[in-house]
């Protein structure tokens, strides 16, 4: 069954997709008008890969990442159009998540589409795998995906952890929300049981317990049950923390976020994100707020965990050198549009968009001589009701009249490598730009 899905979906390449974004368009209502924060963005994330999403501040990369989990503030945000199709996996039936040969040691298996059983149909976007459309998923369903199938790491771990709850409390919430049955099972309780206090125990294990439940659970015989649940919970939390190489997880659990260093906090965030073995991890600039020395270690940790569990990662960053280090593919965003996407080696060896070239020239490398660093002139345009021209206009060294007429779409220049620039595909009207034709 597994093979069948892969064969069917592997059209241009040999791997299945975990998520595909089509024409995602997000506007923000502001006093000056509609800000086109993300404009017709399309890309796919392959199963098990790390995709880097690179761009300057305000180019829409975080908005893109957040829209996966419906974490955009609406209003002022407006989902104008587009879909994000996600193919959730299920826990491997033969190893119950431990990792075995069947699931290639990931603990997860793809789920075939219920309507076509893997052969591909309109329901599943022709992928053959179960498909959910994230942007329009009802509240209840998206909550089941959040933290379980898709997890997120935030930029500043100091702000993304609640200062008034202990580390243990915060990681526990993930298990309460998504691993209720495991918790009950670990305490030797059958979910179908109808004995006295069963409701209270279930509510405790799913964080729906009220004051009466707490009172009930604090007196024997339920007290013992409660303690067993809490013990199982603390073991699960410790295990999650240990995954991220945190020393003394039992002690860290009782700490408050401000008592930990920035690197440790980000490890906690990662532990929390990977606690349920998600299919997709959205990492929104996870190392930006950290010291440079810590950055490298966190980066290694993410790529290590990613390789071990084959979790797909959408790595959002403004830092090209980081992206080059850990990503399989790179998508470059500029002013709400993807201007170039391809395998990391393709994009870095042969950058085809003037913006990508500019970015690469702005990064110091050992090979470059002193004084060769170049900044891209101008600033990011305001995205309020933009003209139908290329977004890079005014900052581009090669712009011609064609660039002002129409916004170029993504076009393939090589296998898996696409660029949206008229240098690489014929312009509909006006003078076509070229790398040999420089305008001031």
Partner 1 sequence: MQLKDYIIRRLIILPFLIIGVSVVVFSLTRIGGSPVGIYLSHEMSQEQVAEIEARFHLDKSLPVQYFYWARGVLSGDFGWSGVSVAPVAEVFPKKLAATMELAVASGIVAVAIGVWLGTFAGARRNKPADHITRIVAVSGASMPNFWFAILLLIVFWANLGWAPIGRASPELFAAVPQRTGLYTVDSLIAGNLNAFFDALWHLMLPAITLGYGATAIIARMMRSSLVEELQQDYVDAARAKGLPERLVLKKHARRNALIPTVTVIGLTFGFLLQGTVSIEIIFRWPGIGKWMADSVLRGDQATLMTYVLFTSILFLFVNLVVDIIYANLDRRVELGK
Partner 2 sequence: MVDFPQSTRRNAIDTIAPESALRVRWRRSTELTAKILSNPATVLGFAIIVAMFFMAIFAPWITTANTPDPYQMPRDWGATRMPPGTPGYPLGTTNEGGDVYYGIVWGTRMSLQLSITVVGITLVVGSIIGSLAGFIGGKLDEVLMRIVDVFLSIPELIFALAIAAILGPSFGNIMFALAVVFWVKYARIMRARVIQIKNSDYIDAARIIGDSKLNIYFRDILPNSFTPVMVQATLDMGNVVLIAATLSFIGLGEAGIAEWGVLVSEGQAGIASGRWWASTFPGLMIFLWALAFNLVGDGLRDALDPRTESSR
Give me the half-sphere count of Cα atoms (radius 13 Å) on the Cβ side of residue 185.
6
- Interface with partner 1: number of residues (CB under 8 A): 31
Long-range residue pairs from 261-264, CB within 8 A, at least 24 positions apart, any chain: 261/294, 262/157, 262/158, 262/289, 262/290, 262/291, 262/294, 263/290, 263/291, 263/294, 263/297, 263/298
CB of 440 to partner 2, least distance (A): 8
Q: Which of residues 256-285 bind partner 1 (CB under 8 A)?
A: 256, 258, 269, 272
Q: What tokens does 180 get?
A: 């209720």
The label of the residue with tokens 């997880």 reads: 249
* 245-to-267, 339, 434 alpha-carbon distances in Å: 8, 38, 50
For residue 296, the minimal CB distance to partner 1 (Å) is 23
351 contributes a contact to partner 2 by CB under 8 A: yes
Q: Figure out which of the listed residues 12, 101, 367, 429 binds partner 2, where binding follows CB under 8 A.
A: 367
- The footprint of partner 2 on residues 377-416 (CB under 8 A) is 377-379, 397
Tell me which residues in 138-167 interact with partner 1 (CB under 8 A): 139, 143-148, 151-152, 154-156, 159-165
Spell out the residues 6+ positions from residue 49 whose beta carbon is closer than 8 angstroms to its own. 15, 312, 313, 328, 329
Applying CB under 8 A, the span of 151-159, 333-341, 368-376, 414-422 interacting with partner 2 comes to: 368-376
Given partner 1, partner 2, none, residue 3, with its beta carbon under 5 to 8 Å by kind, binds none
Q: Which helix (H) or strand (E) holds 270?
A: helix 262-274
Stretch that binds partner 2, among 189-197, 239-247, 333-341, 347-355 (CB under 8 A): 347-355
Classified as helix, coil or strand, 379 is coil
Kindly state the tokens that stand for 362. 């702005």
What mask of x and - would describe binding to partner 1 in positions 173 to 212, judged by CB under 8 A? xx--xx----------------------------x-----
Minimum gap (Å) between residue 236 Cβ and partner 1:
14
Are 38 and 21 a contacting pair, CB within 8 Å? Answer: no
Phi, psi at 315, each rounded to 5°? -100, 110
CB of 264 to partner 1, least distance (A): 16
Q: Which does 290 bind (CB under 5 to 8 A by kind): partner 2, partner 1, none?
A: none
- The closest alpha carbon to 58, from 37, 39, 76, 33, belongs to 37
Query: Which partner in partner 1, partner 2, none is near 152 (CB below 5 to 8 A by kind)?
Result: partner 1
197: partner contacted, choices partner 1, partner 2, none (Cβ within 5-8 A by kind)? none
Q: How far is the CB of 438 from partner 2 (least distance, A)?
A: 7
Q: Which of 69, 216, 298, 327 binds partner 1 (CB under 8 A)?
A: 69
**Distance in angstroms (rounded) separating the CA atoms of residues 106 and 91:** 9
User: In angstroms, what is the minimal distance from the CB of 368 to partner 1?
Assistant: 36
- Minimum distance, C-beta of residue 380 to partner 2, in the bound complex (Å): 12
Q: Which of residues 409-438 bind partner 2 (CB under 8 A)?
A: 435-436, 438
**Given the complex with partner 1, which of 254 and 416 has the nearer CB atom?**
254
Q: Which is nearer to partner 1, 160 or 359 (CB)?
A: 160
Q: Which residues contact 162 (CB under 8 A, 6 or more apart)?
A: 170, 257
Q: Minimal distance in Å, beta carbon 375 to partner 1? A: 30
Residue closer to partner 1 by CB (options 281, 402) is 281
**Interatomic CA distance for residues 12 and 111, integer angstroms:** 21
Q: In the set 93, 363, 374, 409, which binds partner 2 (CB under 8 A)?
A: 374
- Minimum CB–partner distance for residue 274 and partner 1 (Å): 12
By C-alpha distance, which of 322, 259, 261 is closest to 295?
322
Rg (CA), the chain: 24
How does strand 329-334 pair with strand 50-54?
parallel
Distance CA 401, CA 340 (A): 21
CA 112 to centroid of chain Cα atoms? 23
Binding site for partner 1 (CB under 8 A): 66, 69, 71, 139, 143-148, 151-152, 154-156, 159-165, 173-174, 177-178, 207, 256, 258, 269, 272
Binding site for partner 2 (CB under 8 A): 349-351, 357, 361, 367, 371, 373-375, 377-379, 397, 435-436, 438, 440
């Amino acid at each position: 069954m597994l093979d069948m899905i892969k064969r069917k979906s592997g059209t241009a390449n040999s791997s299945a997709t975990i998520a595909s974004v089509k024409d995602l368009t997000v506007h923000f209502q502001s006093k000056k008008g509609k800000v086109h924060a993300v404009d017709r963005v399309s890309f796919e994330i392959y199963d098990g890969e790390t995709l880097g999403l690179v761009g300057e501040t305000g180019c829409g990369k975080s908005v893109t990442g957040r829209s996966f989990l419906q974490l955009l503030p609406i209003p002022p945000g407006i989902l104008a159009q587009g879909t994000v199709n996600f193919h959730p996996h299920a826990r491997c039936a033969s190893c119950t998540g431990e990792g075995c040969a069947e699931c290639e040691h990931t603990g997860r298996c793809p789920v075939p589409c219920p309507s076509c059983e893997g052969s591909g149909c309109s329901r599943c976007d022709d992928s053959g795998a179960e498909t959910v459309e994230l942007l329009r998923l009802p509240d209840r369903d998206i909550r089941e995906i959040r933290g379980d199938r898709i997890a997120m790491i935030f930029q500043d771990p100091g702000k993304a952890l609640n200062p008034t709850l202990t580390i243990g409390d915060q990681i526990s919430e993930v298990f309460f929300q998504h691993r209720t049955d495991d918790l009950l099972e670990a305490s030797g309780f059958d979910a179908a049981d109808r004995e006295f206090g069963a409701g209270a125990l279930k509510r405790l294990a799913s964080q729906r317990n009220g004051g009466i439940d707490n009172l009930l659970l604090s007196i024997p015989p339920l007290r013992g049950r409660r303690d067993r649940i809490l013990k199982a919970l603390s073991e699960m939390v410790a295990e999650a923390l240990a995954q991220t190489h945190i020393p003394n997880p039992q002690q860290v659990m009782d700490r408050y976020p401000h008592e930990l260093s920035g690197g440790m906090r980000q490890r906690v965030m990662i532990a929390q994100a990977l606690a349920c073995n998600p299919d997709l991890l959205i990492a929104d600039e996870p190392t930006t707020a950290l010291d440079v020395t810590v950055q490298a270690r966190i980066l290694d940790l993410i790529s290590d965990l990613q390789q071990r569990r084959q979790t797909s990662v959408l790595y959002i960053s403004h830092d090209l050198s980081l992206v080059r280090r850990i990503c399989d593919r790179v998508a470059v965003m500029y002013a709400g549009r993807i201007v170039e996407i391809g395998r990391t080696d393709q994009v870095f060896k042969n950058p085809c968009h003037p913006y990508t070239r500019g970015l690469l020239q702005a990064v110091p490398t050992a090979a470059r001589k002193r004084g060769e660093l170049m900044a891209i002139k101008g600033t990011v345009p305001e995205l309020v009701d933009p003209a139908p021209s290329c977004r890079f206009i005014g900052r581009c060294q090669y712009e011609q009249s064609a660039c002002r007429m129409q916004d170029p779409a993504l076009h393939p220049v090589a296998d898996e490598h696409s660029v949206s620039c008229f240098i690489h595909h014929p312009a509909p009207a006006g003078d076509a730009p070229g790398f040999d034709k420089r305008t001031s």
